[in-house]
Amino acid sequence: MTDLQTSIPNESNIIRAELDNGITLLVYENPAVQSVNVMGSLQAGSIYEKPEQSGLASLVAGALMTGTKGADFDAIHGALEDVGADLGFRGHVHKVGFSGKALAEDLSLLLDTAGDALRNPIFPAEHIERLRGERLTWLQYSSFDTRYRAAKAMREALYPDTHPYHYGTYGDQDSITKITDDNLREFHAGHFGPRGMILVIVGAVEASQAVQLAADAFGDWGNSEQPAVLQAHEPQNVAGGLRPTVVVPGKTQSDIHMGIVGPARKADDYLAAQLANSVLGEFGMMGRIGKSVREEKGLAYYAYSRLGGGHGPDPWTISAGVNPDNVELAIASIMDEIERLTSATVTDEDLADNQSYFTGRMPLRLESNEGIASHIHSMESFELGLNYLADYERMIYRITKDDLLRAAQNYLRQEGMVVAVAGPDQAAS
Amino acid sequence: MPHLTHTTLPNGLTVLLREAHSAPVISWWLAYRVGSRNEPTGLTGISHWVEHMMFKGTERFPAGALDREIDRAGGQWNAFTSMDATKYFETLPADKIDIAMQAEADRMTQALFDADETESERTVIISERQGAENQPTFWLQEEVRGAAFRVHGYHHEIIGDETDLRSMTRADLYAHYRRHYQPANAAVIAVGAFDTAEMLAKIEELYGAIESGAAPDLFSRAEPEPAGERRVTVERPGKTAFFELCHRIPAADHEDWFKLRLLDAILSGSSGASDNKTSRLYQALVKTEIAAGVGAWLTPTVDPYLYSIIVTLREGRQPEEAEAALLEEIARLQSEGVSEAELNKARKQTRAAFAYSTESVTEQAYGLAQSFILGDVTWFDRYADRLMAVSADDVLEVAERYLVPRSRVVGILHPTDPEQEAAGT
């Protein structure tokens, strides 16, 4: 049997190298599998785009594999699909992320394809138009999706239009329509580069070989145009207490999306807030919210809370899908649970349950290549140190009931909570 | 594949065990041979509702107790009701697997079905259905299945019809549970870091004493052979149109199912290993800007089901254009067959997809549970080899046999003007 304590990724078994051009490379050998997983990120997310070009960074990320100086669309995808490999790029707020997987024998193809796509895209007009059409269709479909509409309304009410979190990474119909091919090329030329890039490789590969293959694919890349890293600051002058309502005709159910500005991943009280969130809407059958809204009152199939915790002040959210007649009752029940969490410490049992949950789930999260790569990427991206996972249990058990209460009180202020609802028009029914 | 231990306890319970020591975890599954296909009119959705009630407690493990125990142990647990089966699983650190083994043994016979909990769950399940109804494609799928199966239980959605969800009683649910949840109608499956002999001894101790009658006669009605194309149209508020093309195909235990699986890999590339941009359907529909997306589904089922292709239309494009393009691709396949290069690509994709799917014990155990439900415990283990044996002639043969108008069901979702819909016009 494999012992978790000896196999947990840490600074002694993760090979970390910094290439001269600023790329940080991390490799973890996992000989128990036949495949290899690649995961990475660059500082080129939507935070670097202008509001009127909302969706540009994501469109650039989506277009990286539509053609390069040396390979057209069919050649790029044909090479990967011929061997059952998979590679994709996705735009986030702070970063563009990428991930891929292949049989171990095809790692060099995966890295070379990623390197070519990142370094040499040509953004062919016909493919950009096709991608634009696909994005517009998705946005159009989403405009009739109550979950999407509630989340969007919450985000736009919580963050002012001067804040990058106000905008969705996919942009909107107007902005996507106006973005030009030149905009894509300029954004790529001005933001994509090796400085700050993270590349994680996990799987059935020798570390030395993986380092060499990565160096071959990325080692001579440079871009003097890369801008300074942008941070997302706490939003100022947040009105709070807003109740945006979106009518979506023809729907049966209403979606509730409640949110408040939460901690960044590197905040001192992030782990305490994470434990508090688990008590509120995660542990067991969706925490205290699930117990009240689903189990006791039978109002919803799902009702849970989530803590964002990224590079900036992401929202702390609560979501539920309920019959339109039950919207107010569900909101009141959730508010009751927030009041309870912020007015008294959790029980010893609550704390012990959630500490055990957080530490006990680690073996499952580290079972797959993808899970391991994701954790290693997070350790590097959030500067947590490569012994973070090894120290994790100690950190979790250091947290007290008072720490949870302080974290909950620090963020879950009911007067600042935005409550967005999207669903059918009740007045018309 | 590592050795599979397959045995049957005297009470009829099937046991499937496979050691995997790559990580200190074990996935424990209990699969029952009952799903939505076994539900008569008036009781549609009952298998899924019973699955929900299994989380509402027993005398030994009251409601919420196992949520807490399993989360405390760092485990995952869930359940799935499909057309053919109801499956429960827990994946836990290896030293905590006893919780799962005891819990599943207990709730096989001791679930309470408390009257108040049953009523509370009625509204939860109706909420689940209403949440699904918010997606236009749910309406399309429901109508297409209804058109495809007039007699067989595959005709209704797993969640059930709302009228049945409102009328079913606690007595109905409990009777369904007692009839189908017994050892002779079930299998336990474990994959992970354990010793087989020790695990088997534990299973005999916990499950061996559970009394079982004969396996229940499952309610099932055979669907007559299709006698011609069927078409349905659905209208929902929105701006996005969808087109669905289905063909009746054989059950998963039929050799032709594997030939169709390769055919699907060539048409849609849906191997789970790639995003399929070189597949024939992507090239014919997305690259030509008729569609924003296209996907295909070939579900392994106990009885003959459907091979389904769903197209998301781009704005301004019509479902008829998608239909014409799809039928042209099918005709091309039937007239030209497939090349050896395409076949080799599909085979490599299959090998890769299989490698990915066997990296977690949960997925491996799921595959074995599915094999039991399909009536052949080696189905998952032989899956890749059976696909590798498919030839270009085989693909052509099943294209000609199954992708024909007589076995076709066409579904179109037309978006309607939301403003008019809101005004009730």
CATH number of the CATH domain containing A27: 3.30.830.10
Give a yes or no: residue B361 inside a domain: yes
Using 50, 70 and 90 to split pLDDT, how confident is the model at A243?
very high
Domain-embedded: residue A315: yes
Q: What angle do CA A111, A117, A118 make, to 5 degrees?
A: 90
Quick check: is B53 in a domain? yes
Q: How many domains does chain A have?
A: 2
Over chain A, what is the mean pLDDT?
94
Q: How far is A158 from chain B (nearest CA, A)?
A: 25
Q: Do B64 and A134 touch (CB under 8 A)?
A: no
pLDDT at site A413: 92
Encode chain B (425 residues) as per-residue pLDDT tens digits.
Answer: 889 999 999 999 999 999 999 888 999 999 999 999 999 999 999 999 999 999 999 999 999 999 999 999 999 999 999 999 999 999 999 999 999 999 999 999 999 999 999 999 999 999 999 999 999 999 999 999 999 999 999 999 999 999 999 999 999 999 999 999 999 999 999 999 999 999 999 999 999 999 987 889 999 999 999 999 999 999 999 999 999 999 999 999 999 999 999 999 999 986 543 458 999 999 999 999 999 999 999 999 999 999 999 999 998 999 999 999 999 999 999 999 999 999 998 888 887 888 888 889 999 999 999 999 999 999 999 999 999 999 999 999 999 999 999 999 999 999 998 776 655 54
Q: Is the pLDDT at A2 greater than 50, yes or no?
A: no
Segments forming the whole domain that contains residue B313 = 230-423
Count structural domains, chain B.
2
- Residue B201 and residue B110 in one domain: yes
Q: Which of A182, A203, A218 is the last residue of a domain?
A: A218
pLDDT at A358 exceeding the cut of 60: yes
Interface-testing mutation among A64, A82, A302, with chain B (most B C-beta atoms within 10 A): A82
- What residue numbers bound the domain in which A368 lies? 245-423
pLDDT (0 to 100) of residue B275: 57
| Domain annotation covers residue B198 | yes
The verdict on B336 touching A (C-beta cutoff 8 Å) is no
Test A35 with B352 for CB contact under 8 angstroms: yes
A294-333 confidence digits (pLDDT tens): 989 999 999 999 999 999 999 999 999 999 999 999 999 9
Using pLDDT thresholds of 50, 70 and 90, give the confidence band for residue A6.
Answer: low
Q: Which of B24, B120, B277 sits opposite A363 (nearest CB)?
A: B24
Q: For residues B162 and B304, state if they share a domain.
A: no
Q: Is the same domain home to B175 and B259?
A: no
Element holding B199 (H helix, E strand): helix B196-207
CA distance B151 to chain A (A): 29
pLDDT for the residue numbered B234: 97
Residues B103 and B202 in one domain: yes
Instruction: Place A3 in a pLDDT band, splitting at 50, 70 and 90.
Output: low
**Co-location of A23 and A103 in the same domain:** yes
Q: Is residue A231 part of a domain?
A: no
* A288 and A379, same domain (yes or no): yes
Is the same domain home to A382 and A258? yes
Flag whether B98 is in a domain: yes
pTM comes to 0.92
ipTM of the complex: 0.87
Out of B175, B207, B239, a domain closes at B207
Do A209 and A266 belong to one domain?
A: no
Mean pLDDT of A96-109: 96
Minimal Cβ distance to B25: which of A73, A253, A364: A364
Task: Identify whether B220 is part of a domain.
Answer: no
Q: Mean per-residue pLDDT for A383-399?
A: 97
Do residues A175 and A261 both lie within one domain?
no
- Answer yes or no: is pLDDT of A32 > 90: no
Same domain as B345, residue B295:
yes
Please check whether residue B350 touches A, CB under 8 A.
yes
**What length does chain B have?**
425
Q: Which residues of A touch B236 (CB under 8 A)?
A: 250
Residue type, A311: H
Instruction: Tell me the count of A-B CB pairs closer than 8 A.
Output: 224
In a domain, A210, yes or no: yes
Whether the per-residue pLDDT at A428 is higher than 60: the answer is: no
- Quote the pLDDT of residue A354: 97
